[in-house]
């Protein structure tokens, strides 16, 4: 199978485009082979030009999308689906689609998810530069390669100056935001460290904007956006981090099923589903843009669990979703459970990788189809089990990539799972590699944009309109509120 895309170096002046061919298995499920013939047809595709003036993959005309998503519409008891239409699926529908083997129906789901992503993201992919500043952790999560009991891990914490300098490099190279990630450490010194780093990143990159004459974000904010992924902390710590200038927080629920969560963690006070959920709600209440997610394919997980995760994301009004495949890590309790399960099923790791890749990207597509305006990550772990994993995810509903900016001499000590990619690539090499991957997927990198979730701003505007708490920053409303989701009958529902 081949993905056809327009070469940026060949900017056509007519509808007779020159096309380059790039081998990319499975992506043609959402961009069918017929597109090669449709490129020259005015009625079949619409040519899009990026903010840099480059051509990107033509967008199929609405009638073509309606025709190719008819199998999905029929599954829902509908005559047709509108391109970009979001549907609030119920549990039986989610479970059925997760296990579906009919190729036409699966392709229709991926195309509809891509059309929803196009509606809300306009073909843009946003970068979150990942800085893994410390692998010191107090937790012993059963699947993690840097858990406290992993004795052979060389522990490190980068200096504040090094973290700030990496962030400044990212800003200078047109990244919109960075993600500061580490193991969990609940100390006052770590809180002070983080607050200093955040304040310096925000102030120094804002000053860089002034010097270079860069335009601010759409709502007037300057500098580099700062996201955090540093675990479960007290409310006072979350508040201090927000006041220092962080605006996003990633805290994975790991599973919406408390019983499955318990099987993946030690049974003690440090590893509680209830505590994890409480922290997620506190972050939302403080006004963070809240990201969460799950691992797909962990031992004992069922399709019922996976459907429940998708329903939970929607119920909890999550702004950002990150779902990666479970990847084996030797020397961990969950790794031992995983190998036992593979032996019982009589399959090897390669067969598992194919299976879990399909299920993970199916989850991505269903999250986009049912939630619409959220941000969804094409996780690095997808590339660990398939070389073109992130490109495929971008064609199945994802819109976020997280290039690793951690220095190469440190990166090897932050291996959460076996086969983590990009360990020997510099930040410059990683940027160039992902830029090519985004082009291959027919998308455009939104250089310099923070890339806030549309869902977050829609929620704030909705609360303000109903007399609730309003935001201090006025963000854009991308679509009319109350017109973003339908049930299987086509009735309109509010996603908020």
For the ranges 100-104, 269-273, 371-375, 386-390, the lowest mean pLDDT is seen at: 386-390
- Where b means 16+ CB within 10 Å and e means fewer, 421-459 reads bbeebebeebbeebbebbbbbbbbbbbbbbbbbbbbbbb
- 360-387, pLDDT tens digit by residue? 999 999 999 999 999 999 998 998 899 8
Contact criterion met (CB below 8 Å) for 310 and 282: no
Nearest alpha-carbon partner for 183 in 115, 222, 230 = 230
Contact criterion met (CB below 8 Å) for 161 and 137: no
Chain mean pLDDT for the chain: 84
pLDDT attached to residue 486: 55
pTM of the model: 0.84
Say how many Å lie between the first and final Cα of the chain, rounded. Answer: 39
The pLDDT-based confidence of 413 (bands split at 50, 70, 90) is confident
Compare 5 and 421 and report the one with higher pLDDT. Answer: 421
pLDDT attached to residue 261: 98
- 119-166, pLDDT tens digit by residue? 999 999 999 999 999 999 999 999 999 999 998 899 999 999 999 999
The conformation of residue 439, written as its DSSP 8-state character, comes to H
pLDDT attached to residue 384: 87
pLDDT attached to residue 480: 38
Task: Please report how many Cα atoms fall inside a 13 Å half-sphere around the Cα of residue 274, on the Cβ side.
Answer: 3
> For 476-492, what is the mean pLDDT?
44
> For 398-409, what is the mean pLDDT?
92
pLDDT attached to residue 23: 31
For the ranges 213-222, 311-320, 362-371, the lowest mean pLDDT is seen at: 213-222
Nearest alpha-carbon partner for 241 in 199, 296, 183, 211 = 199
Residues 104 and 247: their CA atoms lie apart, in Å, by 41
Backbone angles phi, psi at 355, to 5 degrees: -65, -50
> For 24-50, what is the mean pLDDT?
35
Q: Answer whether residue 429 shows pLDDT above 90.
A: no
CA angle at residue 107 from 101 to 109, to 5 degrees?
Answer: 95
Q: What percent of the chain has pLDDT over 70?
A: 80
The pLDDT-based confidence of 462 (bands split at 50, 70, 90) is confident
Nearest alpha-carbon partner for 390 in 340, 464, 445, 447 = 445
The pLDDT-based confidence of 485 (bands split at 50, 70, 90) is low
> For 319-339, what is the mean pLDDT?
95
What is the SS3 assignment for 65? helix
CA torsion sign for 242, 247, 252, 256 is positive
Cβ neighbours around 154 below 10 Å, total: 8
Nearest alpha-carbon partner for 366 in 87, 24, 128, 148 = 87
The pLDDT-based confidence of 239 (bands split at 50, 70, 90) is very high
pLDDT attached to residue 122: 94
- 327-336, pLDDT tens digit by residue? 998 999 999 9
> For 463-469, what is the mean pLDDT?
70
Element holding 322 (H helix, E strand): strand 320-325
Task: Please report how many Cα atoms fall inside a 13 Å half-sphere around the Cα of residue 102, on the Cβ side.
Answer: 10
pLDDT attached to residue 466: 73
Q: Answer whether residue 44 shows pLDDT above 90.
A: no
- 51-94, pLDDT tens digit by residue? 454 455 667 899 999 999 999 999 999 999 999 999 999 999 99
């Amino acid at each position: 199978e081949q993905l056809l895309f327009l070469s940026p170096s060949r900017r056509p002046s007519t509808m007779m485009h020159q096309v380059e061919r790039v081998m990319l298995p499975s992506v043609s499920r959402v961009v069918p082979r017929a597109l090669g013939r449709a490129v020259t047809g005015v009625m079949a595709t619409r040519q899009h030009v990026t903010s840099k003036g480059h051509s990107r993959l033509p967008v199929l005309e609405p009638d073509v999308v309606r025709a190719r998503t008819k199998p999905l519409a029929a599954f829902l008891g509908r005559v047709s689906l509108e391109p970009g239409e979001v549907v609030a699926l119920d549990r039986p529908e989610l479970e059925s689609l997760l296990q579906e083997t009919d190729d036409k129906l699966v392709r229709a789901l991926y195309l509809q998810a891509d059309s929803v992503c196009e509606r809300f993201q306009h073909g843009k992919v946003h970068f979150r530069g990942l800085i893994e500043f410390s692998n010191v952790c107090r937790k012993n999560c059963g699947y993690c390669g840097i858990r406290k009991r992993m004795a052979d891990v060389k522990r490190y914490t980068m200096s504040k100056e090094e973290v700030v300098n990496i962030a400044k490099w990212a800003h200078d190279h047109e990244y919109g935001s960075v993600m500061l990630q580490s193991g969990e450490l609940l100390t006052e010194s770590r809180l002070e460290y983080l607050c200093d780093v955040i304040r310096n990143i925000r102030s120094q990159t804002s000053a860089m904007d002034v010097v270079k004459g860069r335009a601010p974000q759409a709502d007037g904010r300057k500098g580099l956006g700062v996201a955090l992924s540093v675990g479960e902390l007290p409310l006072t710590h979350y508040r201090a981090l927000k006041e220092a200038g962080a605006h996003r927080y990633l805290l994975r629920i790991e599973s919406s099923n408390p019983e499955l969560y318990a099987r993946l963690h030690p049974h003690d006070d440090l590893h509680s589903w209830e505590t994890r959920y409480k922290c997620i709600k506190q972050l939302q209440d403080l006004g963070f843009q809240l990201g969460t997610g799950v691992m797909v394919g962990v031992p004992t997980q069922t399709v019922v669990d996976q459907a429940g995760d998708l329903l939970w994301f929607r119920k909890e009004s999550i702004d950002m979703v990150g779902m990666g495949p479970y990847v084996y890590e030797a020397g961990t309790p969950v790794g031992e459970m995983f190998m036992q399960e593979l032996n019982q099923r009589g399959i090897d790791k390669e067969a598992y990788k194919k299976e879990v890749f399909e299920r993970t990207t199916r989850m991505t597509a269903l999250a986009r189809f049912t939630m619409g305006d959220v941000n969804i990550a094409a996780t690095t772990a997808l590339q660990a089990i398939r070389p073109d994993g992130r490109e495929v995810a971008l064609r199945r509903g994802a819109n976020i990539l997280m290039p690793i900016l951690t220095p190469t001499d440190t990166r090897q000590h932050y291996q959460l799972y076996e086969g983590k990619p990009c360990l020997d690539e510099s930040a410059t090499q990683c940027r160039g590699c992902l830029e090519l991957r985004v082009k291959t997927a027919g998308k455009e990198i939104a250089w310099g944009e923070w890339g806030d979730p549309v869902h977050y701003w829609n929620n704030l505007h909705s609360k303000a309109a109903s007399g609730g708490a309003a935001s201090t920053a006025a963000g854009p409303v991308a679509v009319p509120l109350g017109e973003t989701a339908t049930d299987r009958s086509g009735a309109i529902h509010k996603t908020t």
